[in-house]
Amino acid sequence: MTELLKDPEKATILAPLLANGWSETESGAAIAKHFLFANFVEAFAFMTRVALIVEKMDHHPDWSNVYRSVDVILSTHDAGGVTLKDVRLAEKMDEATAHV
Residues 6+ away with beta carbon under 8 Å from 5: 13, 14, 81, 82, 83, 84, 87
Question: Which residue number, 1 or 40, has a Cβ lying nearer to its own copies?
Answer: 40
Question: Which residue number, 13 or 53, has a Cβ lying nearer to its own copies?
Answer: 53
In the complex, the smallest distance separating the C-beta of residue 18 from its own copies, rounded to whole angstroms, is 24
Produce one character per residue of 28-49: b if its CB has 16 or more CB atoms within 10 Å, e if not: ebbbbbebebeeeebbbebbeb
Return d(Cα 61, Cα 24) in angstroms, integer: 15
Question: Which residue number, 23 or 64, has a Cβ lying nearer to its own copies?
Answer: 64
Interactions with its own copies, residue window 7-66 (CB under 8 A): 40-41, 44, 47-48, 51, 54-55, 60-66
Residue numbers at the binding site for its own copies (CB under 8 A): 40-41, 44, 47-48, 51, 54-55, 60-67
